[in-house]
Amino acid sequence: MTDMAWLCPRAERRVGTHAETLGELVMGTVSLRRAIQASPGLFDAVLAAMVAILSMVPVAVGALGRGPSIQDAVAAGVTFLLLVGRHRAPLTVLVLALLVAATSIVAAPTTMHLLEATALIALYTVTAINRRWRAIAATAVASVALYAANAYVAGSVISGDSVGVVAFVGMAAAIGVSVRTWRDNVAAADERADRAEATRDEEARRRVAEERLRIARELHDVIAHHIAVINVQAGVASHLVRTQPSKAEVTLSQIREAGRTVLDELGAVLYVLRQSDDDAMPTEPLPGLSRLGQLLESFTAAGFRIQQQTTGKPRTLAIATDLAAYRIIQEGLTNAHKHGPEPHASLLLEYRPDAITITIRNLLSGTHNASAGTGHGLIGMRERAQAAGGTLDVGPEPGGRFRLHACLPLPGPQGSGDEAVKPDVAGSRNAEPERGRGLRHARTAQC
C-alpha cells in the first residue's frame, strides 16, 4: 500500500482490483465479458479515454480545416467525465449528455459530433440496463432534444442533420434493447439449467430412497422368518430341556445360528431403512442363487446367450447376500441385454473363502447406459451391494468391453456366538448415525 493509501483505502482497493483484472485480460486468462463484469468502472474509463482521444484525431491531422482549440479540449474532457460514470448513474449521465450535446450543437457546431456520440453511448447504456418503458422514454427524450437542436441550427423543421441524428438515436436504442434481451435470455437459460440440475438431483435422491426402501422390505421378510424360527425353536428347547437334554443342545445351537443371522441382517436394515407411507409388503418367496438357472433360461429364451462359469465351492449364503447377488446378476444381465451391441455376455461367479464375486462382461456400445433397466439400474445395484456390506464397480475396460464387478463378503467360519457381529440395536444415539458401521466395516474389509 502506498504512503497515502490510508487517506482513501477504498480507492486503493479499487485500483488494485482493476489492475489485477486488466492484467488477467492481457494475459488471456479471463474473457472480455468476465473482465467487464468484474471491473465495469475500469472499462468505462478505458472507453471514455478512447472516445476522447479519437475525437482529437481529426483536429490533429487538420481534417476539420483548423487546429486544436479550447472547445475541443473542453468537449474531450466532458466526454471523459460523462462516460466514466455511465454505469453508476446512467439516467443522470444521459440527461447531462443531452444537455451538453444540445448546447454544443447550438453554440459550437464544430464540436457537436463528439458530444452527440457521447449522448448516444449514454442512451445505449440506459436502454441496455432498464426495462422497456424507461428505454422508450429515454429514446423519446433523446430524439426530441437532438432533433430540436439540429433543426434550430439548420433553420428548418426537416434537414439532413436533424433526420440523421434521429436515425442514430434509434440505432443506439435498438442495440441497447438487443443487449438487454440477450442478457435476459442468458440469465433465463442459466436459471433453467439450475432448475433442471436440481430436479435431476432430487430425482436421483428419490430413486435411491425408493430402492433402499425396497431392499429394507425384503430384509424385513428375512428377519421376520428367522425371528419366527427362533420363537418356535425356543419353545421346543424349553420342552426338550426337561425331557431330552441331549436334543435340546441341538435346538439351542439352531437358535444361536438364527440369532446370528438376524443380527447380521438387522445391521443391513439399519443401513438402508427409510420411512414410507406405503404399507404394501411383498409376499412372494425371495429369490436367490438357487434360482439362477431359471434366470439364465429366461434370458436364453429371449435370444440372449450367456456364457456362465463358476469357480470355487458353492455354499449356502446368508439370505440378504443371496438376494443381493441374485438381483445384481439380474440387473447386470438386463443392462447387457438392453444396451449391448450383440446378444451375448459372460457371467463369472467366484466363491472365495471370505467373499463371493460377480463379474459380467459384454461388448461396449456408444449408447451403453449403466443406469438403465429395472430397479433403477446402477443405483439399485450399488445400493444392494452396499446393503450386503459389499462393493460394486462398473466401467469400460480394454478391448471394447463393459465390465460389472460386485464383491459381497461372506461371514467367517462358524464359531461361538462371541464371534458374531452385533450391531447396536438397543437405541444408542452414538450407534444410530453410524447405520451399522461396525457390520459394514467387518464385511467390506474382506472385499
Q: Where are the domains of the chain?
A: 5-196, 206-272, 290-444
More confident residue, 39 or 199: 199
Range with lowest mean pLDDT among 15-24, 77-86, 293-302? 15-24
CATH number of this structure's domain 206-272: 1.20.5
| Position 72 confidence tier, pLDDT thresholds 50, 70, 90 | low
Domain 290-444 CATH assignment equals 3.30.565.10: yes
Structure confidence by residue, pLDDT tens digits, 278-333:
444 444 556 889 989 988 988 887 778 999 999 999 988 888 889 899 989 988 99
Q: Does residue 149 surpass a pLDDT of 50?
A: yes
Locus of grid cell 418356535? 232
What is the structure's pLDDT at 224? 66
Q: Is the dihedral of CA 359, 365, 370, 375 positive or negative?
A: negative
Assess whether pLDDT exceeds 70 at residue 387. yes
The answer on pLDDT for 131 being more than 50 is: yes
Answer whether 149's CB lies under 8 Å from 102's CB: yes
Q: Which of 12-26, 48-62, 233-247, 373-387 is predicted most confidently?
A: 233-247
- Residues near 89 by beta carbon (within 8 Å), at least 6 away in sequence: none
What is the total residue count of the chain?
447
Burial pattern 139-173, b for ≥16 Cβ within 10 A else e, equals bebbbebbbebbbebeeeeeeebbeebbebbeebb
The confidence score (pLDDT) of residue 61 equals 53
C-alpha to C-alpha distance for 381 and 383, rounded to whole angstroms: 5
Per-residue pLDDT tens digits for 91-129:
888 988 888 888 878 876 655 567 788 888 889 989 998
**Closest by CA position to 215, among listed 335, 324, 112, 365:** 324
